[in-house]
Chain A
Amino acid sequence: MNFSEVFKQSNHLCKVSPDGKYLATCVQYRLVVRDLGTLQILQLYTCLDQVSHMEWSSDSLFILCAMYKRGLVQVWSLEQPDWHCKIDEGSIGLVSSRWSPDGRHILNTTEFHLRITVWSLCTKAVSYIKYPKACQKGIDFSTDGCYMALAERRDCKDYVSIFVCDDWHLLRHFETETQDLAGLEWSPNGCVLAVWDSCLEYKVLLYSLDGRLLSTYSAYEWSLGVKSVSWSPSSQFLAIGSYDEKVRILNHITWKKIVQFEHPATIDNMKAIVYKEVERRPAVVSDEMSLHNITMGSTLLSTQSKYEICPLPVQIPVVKPEPDRANPKIGVSVLAFSSDSRYLATKNGSFQVQSLNWHCSGDSVILLGKDQLCLCYMDTDHEEK
C-alpha cells in the first residue's frame, strides 16, 4: 500500500467527490480542492470563518461549507470558481446544514431545532419545516432521492413527515407508536421506512411509503434496547444491533426475526477464524476485535506487525462499562452489510472502531479506528456466514 504526503485538514473535513474525481479538504477557513489522480490543487476557496461542516453536492459540482458559529453557509462551484452563494440564517443560528439529494437545495437546521429551512439555489425560495425532532437520526433521504422522511415532535408525540424532494410537497404525515423516536431509515428500495425508539425501549416500527404501519418488532422489554439499525442493500434484511450485544435480523416478507447473532466474550465456534495482530513493539496497545471472521490491527507504516491465527477458543478482552453512566459503551454499535448482502460486519463493545465500510465488490472491508485502520480481504472460496 502506498501513501501520499500528508495534507493538512481541520475538523476531519476531507471528502472525495461523489464522482470520484476530486478531493476537498478544509483547513481552518480555506477550502482546498485537489484532483484525486494527481493530487494537484485545482481550486482554493476562502470562507468567512472556520468551516464546521463541508459537503459535496450529489452531482459533484458544488461544495457546501457551513460555519455554525456564525450561522453562515457558503456554497462554492467547481465549474465556475467565481460563482458564490452565501446563506445567512441570522440570529436564529445554525446547528446543521446539508444538501438535498438533487444538489440544488440546502437544508439548514436552526438552533434548538426550531425549524428546518430549505433554501433553493434555483429559485432562491425558502421553505420552512416546523418542529423537527432532535434525535440520533431524525432526517433521511431515500436512495433514489425522491422522498425525505423527517421525524417531528409535537405535543409530546412523535410524527413522521414524508416530503417529495422535487418540490418539498408534504406527501404524508403520520403519528408513530414510539415513546421517543430515535431514528429512521429508508430501505434501499425506498418502499419501507424503519423507525426505532430510543434505547429505553426496544421497538422497531416499519412503515410503508404511504404511511401505513406494516409491522412492529420488539425483542425484549425493560433492558436497554436498539443501538444501531442497518438495511441490507437488497432490502431483504433489516439488522438491528442492541445493547444486549446481539444482532437480530428481520426478513422483509414477514418482518419476523429470522436469525440472531451473539457476540460472546469467548469465541469457540469451530467455524470462526480469529486473526490477532502481533506487534513487535510491546508498548503500543493493539486493539483486538472480532467480527465473524475478522480482527483489526494497527497501521502498517511504522510498526512491524503480522497477523496470526489464534487457536480456538479465544478470549476477547471485555471492558465493563461504568454502570452509572448513560449510553454505556456496550452493545452492537456499528453494522455494515456487504454489497451483495451476504456478509454482515458488526462491532460490539467498547472497541475503538469508528466505522466499517465494505468495498462495493463485497469482498473486502475497511475498519477505521481512532488512529488505526485495517483493510481486510476475504477469500470468497471458503467463506461461510
Chain B
Amino acid sequence: MKFSTQVADGCTATMPESSQAKDARCCSVECRTPPLSHFSQSSLPLHRNSHRLSTFCTEHNLQECLSHISQEVSLLGLSPGWTESVSSSQLDVVAVLNCMYDLIQLHHRSLRTLENMEMEQLKLSSNVDYLKINNTHLKEEVEVSKRQNTGLLERERQLHLKLKSLQNCLKNEKEEVQKLQNIISSRACQFNHEMKRREREFTKLKERLNQLLADKKDRKPAIDVLNNIGRADGKRSLWKTEKTEAKHEGEMYRTLLSDYDMRQRELVLENAELRKVMQQMKKEMVSILKSRKLIPKGENYEHNDTQAASDEDDEVFDPSKESVELFCIDAREKLTNSIRLQWRRLKSHVERLDSQVSLTRMSESNIDDAVPRENHEEEMDRLKMEIQRCKDFIQKQQQLLQKQLSCACNEDPVSLQNDGYMLQEKKRLGEEWKSLEEQRKSFERERRNFTEAAIRLSHERKIFEEDRGTWLKQQFLSMSPFGNSKQLHAPKSSSALLIAETEVRAPMAPETPSECRSDSASPIPGSVSLTPSSAGDLECQLCLIPENGVTYCSSKHGKSEHFEELSPLCESISLRDKQWRESEDLSSHSLTPEKSSSI
C-alpha cells in the first residue's frame, strides 16, 4: 500500500479507484522489500498510519479491499478466516481479529528476527574488530620475535668466533705447554746425566781414597831428566819478584792498550769514511733540492724560502768549520740532524713530484722519459681498458648492423638505443658533410675568382701589349724612312707580335691559354697571310739579319725567355733596324738603347 512509501516520503496523494489495486500490489511489493529503517520507525508512523489507513478502505471499495487483504494475508501464509463470498457489510470480526493478531504476531516475529540479526551483526562486527586488533598484535609480535631471532643469531655468531679464537689460544697454549714439557724433560735428562756422572766420579774417588789408604807405598811424583835443557827463547829464567810481577802487569796492560789503540784507529778511519759519505750525501741532496726548487711553481714557495735559508746556513756552516771541529758532539749532531732534515725534504719532494707526474699523466697524453714504472703500468692498464671498451662498442655496432639488415626494426629498447646511436652518428656525419661541402664551395668560389682575375689580368696584359706595340710602332715609324709604307704592316705585325707574346706569356690558367689561342688563332692566319706578301722582303732581309738578330736577341737574352721565342718577329724589327743603321748609324745606336729601355 501507499502508506509505507508515504510514511517515508511524507506525501499523500489521492489515488483513483481503478488503479488502487495495482498500486496496492506495487506497494505491497514495496512493502516487502523496504529498508529496515522504515520498520524501525514503526512506532511513530503508526499514528500517521491510522490516517492513511482510512484512505485505503472506504465504504465503496470495501469488497475490493477485503479481497485484496485476504489475498495478502494468504500470501503471507495466514488463513484469512473469511471467505470472499460473504457480503460486504458483514465481516467476521473474530476472523479479522485473528488475522490481525496473526499479522501482529508475524510482525513481532519479524521484529525479533530483525533484532536478532542486528545483534548478530554487531557481534560479528565486534568479532571482526577484535580479530583485526589481534592480527595487528600478532604481527607486531612476529616482528619483535624476528628481531630477537636475528639478535640471537648475531650473538651466536659472535660466540662461535669467540669459541674459535679460544680454541686457537688453547691450541697455542697446548703447544707451548708441550714445548715447555720437552724443555723440562731435556733439562731433567741432562741433570740426571750430570748427577750420575758425578756420582760415578765420587765413587771412583772413594775407591781411590780407600786404595790409597790401604796402599802402603806411596809413590811420589818425580821427574827424571837427563839434563836440563835451555829455555826456548834462550834467556835465563828470572826469580819471581815484585818487579817481575809489575813487569807482567805492565805487559798485560800494554797488550790491552795496543789492542784498544788499534781498534780506535780503525774506528776513527771508519768514522771519517762515514762522515765523508754523509757530507757527500748531504751536498748531493742539497744540490738536487736546489735544482728542483725551480720546477714546482707556486705551491712550495714558502718551503723554498725556508729551504734556501737553511741551505745557506748549512753551506755557510760547512766550509767554515774544520774537520777537527766535527769531532765534537755538537758538530756531529748538527751534521746528522741536517742530513736527516735534507733527507726528509728530498723524500717529500720526490713524493710531490710523483703525485704531480701522475696528475699530468691524467691530463696530457705526453709521457716523459723518466716515468716511474707504476704510472707506466697504470697508463697501460687504462689503455687496455679503453681498447676493450672500443672493441665492445664495435662489436655492439656490428650486432646492431646485422640486426638491422636481417630483421625489421624491433621495439626493443636496446635496438632503439642502438638506433639512437646510429642517429647520433648520422647527425654527426651529416654535420661534417655540411662543413666539408661549405669548404668545397668556398674553394670553388675562390678558384673561380682566381680564374676570373687571371682572365682579366690576361686581358689587361693583352691591351697593355697592344698599347706598347702601337707605341713602339709609332716610335719606329716616326724614325724609320719606311714608316708610311710599313704602317700598314706594323699594326698587324705588332698585333701578331702581341698575340704571339700573349701566347707565350700566358701561363696563368688553363682557360686563358686556350682563349688566347682561340684569339690568336684568328689573327695568326692573318699574320700568316701577311707574311707571304712581305716574305720576299723578309727573306732577303733575314739573310742579312742573322748576326744582328742574334746580337739583338742575345742582348735581350738576359731579360726573359719570350724574347728568344719572338726571334722571328724580332728579326723583322731588327731588319728595320739594320736598314736604319745602314742609313743612320747613330740613330740605330740611339735606337737600340731606346729599344732596350722600352722593351
Footprint of B on A, CB under 8 Å? Answer: 58-59, 77, 82-93, 102-104, 111-112, 117, 119, 121-124, 126, 146-147, 164, 166-167, 169, 171, 189-191, 199-200, 208-210, 222-224, 252-253, 323-328
**Cβ of A190 and Cβ of B255 under 8 Å apart?**
yes
**Cβ of A209 and Cβ of B255 under 8 Å apart?**
yes
Query: Which chain A residue lies CB-closest to B231?
Result: A122
Query: Which chain B residue lies CB-closest to A222?
Result: B183
Q: Can you pick out 21 interface pairs between chain A and chain B where the beta carbons lie within 8 Å of each other?
A: A58-B232, A85-B225, A86-B224, A86-B225, A87-B222, A88-B219, A90-B219, A91-B219, A121-B225, A124-B223, A147-B252, A164-B251, A167-B240, A169-B240, A169-B244, A191-B256, A210-B253, A210-B256, A222-B180, A253-B267, A327-B193
**Cβ of A167 and Cβ of B237 under 8 Å apart?**
yes
**Cβ of A210 and Cβ of B252 under 8 Å apart?**
yes
Classify the interface of chain B: helix, strand, loop or mixed: helix
- B232 / chain A contacts, CB cutoff of 8 Å: 58-59, 102-104
**Cβ of B252 and Cβ of A88 under 8 Å apart?**
no
Classify the interface of chain A: helix, strand, loop or mixed: loop
How many angstroms from the CA of A253 to the CA of B264 in the assembled complex?
10
**Cβ of A323 and Cβ of B185 under 8 Å apart?**
yes
Residues 193-251 of B contacting A (Cβ, < 8 Å): 193-194, 201, 204-205, 208, 212, 215, 218-233, 237-238, 240, 244-245, 248-249, 251
**Cβ of A123 and Cβ of B228 under 8 Å apart?**
yes
- B226 / chain A contacts, CB cutoff of 8 Å: 82-85
**Cβ of B228 and Cβ of A200 under 8 Å apart?**
no
- A121 / chain B contacts, CB cutoff of 8 Å: 225, 228-229
What total of chain B residues lie within 8 Å of the partner, measured CB to CB?
49
- A88 / chain B contacts, CB cutoff of 8 Å: 219, 221-224
**Cβ of B201 and Cβ of A112 under 8 Å apart?**
yes
**Cβ of A326 and Cβ of B192 under 8 Å apart?**
yes
Q: Which of B192, B212, B256, B267 makes the CB contact (< 8 A) with A91?
A: B212
Q: Which of B180, B190, B219, B252 makes the CB contact (< 8 A) with A326?
A: B190
Q: Does B189 contact A (CB under 8 A)?
A: yes
Which 6 residue pairs spanning A and B have beta carbons closest together?
A: A326-B193, A90-B219, A90-B221, A191-B259, A85-B225, A102-B232
- A82 / chain B contacts, CB cutoff of 8 Å: 226
With A104-B229, A112-B204 in contact, do A169 and B191 touch (Cβ < 8 Å)? no
How many angstroms from the CA of A297 to the CA of B201 in the assembled complex?
40
- B201 / chain A contacts, CB cutoff of 8 Å: 112
Closest chain A CB from B437 CB (angstroms): 70
With A209-B255, A325-B189 in contact, do A122 and B240 touch (Cβ < 8 Å)? no
- A327 / chain B contacts, CB cutoff of 8 Å: 190, 193
- Given A86-B225, A90-B222, A326-B190, list of 5 further CB < 8 A pairs? A83-B229, A104-B231, A190-B255, A209-B255, A222-B180
Q: Which of A83, A122, A222 makes the CB contact (< 8 A) with B230?
A: A122
**Cβ of A166 and Cβ of B223 under 8 Å apart?**
no
Query: Which chain B residue lies CB-closest to A83?
Result: B226
Closest chain A CB from B542 CB (angstroms): 101
Q: Which of B187, B218, B223, B252 makes the CB contact (< 8 A) with A209?
A: B252
Closest chain A CB from B244 CB (angstroms): 7
With A210-B253, A323-B182 in contact, do A119 and B259 touch (Cβ < 8 Å)? no
**Cβ of B238 and Cβ of A167 under 8 Å apart?**
yes
With A164-B248, A191-B259, A200-B191 in contact, do A86 and B223 touch (Cβ < 8 Å)? yes
- B145 / chain A contacts, CB cutoff of 8 Å: none
**Cβ of B248 and Cβ of A169 under 8 Å apart?**
yes
With A123-B237, A124-B223, A200-B187 in contact, do A209 and B256 touch (Cβ < 8 Å)? yes
The residue among B230, B244, B256 with the most chain A CB atoms within 10 A of its own CB is B256
Q: Does B186 contact A (CB under 8 A)?
A: yes
**Cβ of A124 and Cβ of B212 under 8 Å apart?**
no
With A200-B187, A326-B193 in contact, do A102 and B221 touch (Cβ < 8 Å)? no
Closest chain B CB from A134 CB (angstroms): 8
Closest chain B CB from A84 CB (angstroms): 5
- A253 / chain B contacts, CB cutoff of 8 Å: 263, 267
**Cβ of A89 and Cβ of B237 under 8 Å apart?**
no
Query: Which chain A residue lies CB-closest to B189?
Result: A326
**Cβ of A191 and Cβ of B223 under 8 Å apart?**
no
**Cβ of B190 and Cβ of A324 under 8 Å apart?**
no
**Cβ of B248 and Cβ of A119 under 8 Å apart?**
no
**Cβ of A83 and Cβ of B227 under 8 Å apart?**
yes
Closest chain A CB from B274 CB (angstroms): 14
Closest chain B CB from A331 CB (angstroms): 11
- B215 / chain A contacts, CB cutoff of 8 Å: 91
With A91-B218, A209-B252, A326-B190 in contact, do A126 and B237 touch (Cβ < 8 Å)? no
Residues 155-192 of B contacting A (Cβ, < 8 Å): 180, 182-183, 185-187, 189-192
Closest chain B CB from A161 CB (angstroms): 14
Q: Which of B237, B255, B263 makes the CB contact (< 8 A) with A122?
A: B237
**Cβ of B229 and Cβ of A92 under 8 Å apart?**
no
- A324 / chain B contacts, CB cutoff of 8 Å: 185, 189
**Cβ of A111 and Cβ of B190 under 8 Å apart?**
no
Closest chain B CB from A171 CB (angstroms): 6
- B225 / chain A contacts, CB cutoff of 8 Å: 84-86, 121, 124
- B223 / chain A contacts, CB cutoff of 8 Å: 85-88, 119, 124, 126
- B256 / chain A contacts, CB cutoff of 8 Å: 191, 208-210
With A164-B248, A169-B245, A327-B190 in contact, do A111 and B208 touch (Cβ < 8 Å)? yes
- A199 / chain B contacts, CB cutoff of 8 Å: 190
Closest chain B CB from A86 CB (angstroms): 5
- A209 / chain B contacts, CB cutoff of 8 Å: 252, 255-256
Fill in one digit per residue for B357-377: 1 if any A CB lies within 8 Å of its CB, else 0.
Answer: 000000000000000000000
- A224 / chain B contacts, CB cutoff of 8 Å: 183, 186-187, 190
**Cβ of A117 and Cβ of B221 under 8 Å apart?**
yes
With A123-B228, A191-B256 in contact, do A89 and B186 touch (Cβ < 8 Å)? no
- B249 / chain A contacts, CB cutoff of 8 Å: 171
Closest chain B CB from A168 CB (angstroms): 9
Closest chain A CB from B205 CB (angstroms): 5
- A112 / chain B contacts, CB cutoff of 8 Å: 201, 204-205, 208
Query: Which chain B residue lies CB-closest to A88?
Result: B222
Query: Which chain A residue lies CB-closest to B193?
Result: A326
How many angstroms from the CA of A103 to the CA of B186 in the assembled complex?
43
How many angstroms from the CA of A205 to the CA of B121 in the assembled complex?
106
- A89 / chain B contacts, CB cutoff of 8 Å: 221
**Cβ of B248 and Cβ of A166 under 8 Å apart?**
yes
Closest chain A CB from B238 CB (angstroms): 7
- A119 / chain B contacts, CB cutoff of 8 Å: 223
- B253 / chain A contacts, CB cutoff of 8 Å: 210
Query: Which chain A residue lies CB-closest to B230?
Result: A122
**Cβ of A171 and Cβ of B252 under 8 Å apart?**
yes
Fill in one digit per residue for B6-23: 1 if any A CB lies within 8 Å of its CB, else 0.
Answer: 000000000000000000
**Cβ of A102 and Cβ of B231 under 8 Å apart?**
yes
- A223 / chain B contacts, CB cutoff of 8 Å: 183, 186
**Cβ of A102 and Cβ of B233 under 8 Å apart?**
yes
How many angstroms from the CA of A324 to the CA of B181 in the assembled complex?
12
- A91 / chain B contacts, CB cutoff of 8 Å: 212, 215, 218-219
Closest chain B CB from A220 CB (angstroms): 10
The residue among B191, B192, B194, B229 with the most chain A CB atoms within 10 A of its own CB is B229
Query: Which chain B residue lies CB-closest to A325?
Result: B189
Closest chain A CB from B187 CB (angstroms): 6
Closest chain A CB from B249 CB (angstroms): 7
- A208 / chain B contacts, CB cutoff of 8 Å: 256
**Cβ of A328 and Cβ of B248 under 8 Å apart?**
no
**Cβ of B228 and Cβ of A122 under 8 Å apart?**
yes
How many angstroms from the CA of A85 to the CA of B221 in the assembled complex?
14
Q: Which of A93, A122, A169 makes the CB contact (< 8 A) with B229?
A: A122
How many angstroms from the CA of A245 to the CA of B191 in the assembled complex?
21
How many angstroms from the CA of A103 to the CA of B230 in the assembled complex?
11
How many angstroms from the CA of A101 to the CA of B182 in the assembled complex?
44
How many angstroms from the CA of A222 to the CA of B186 in the assembled complex?
10
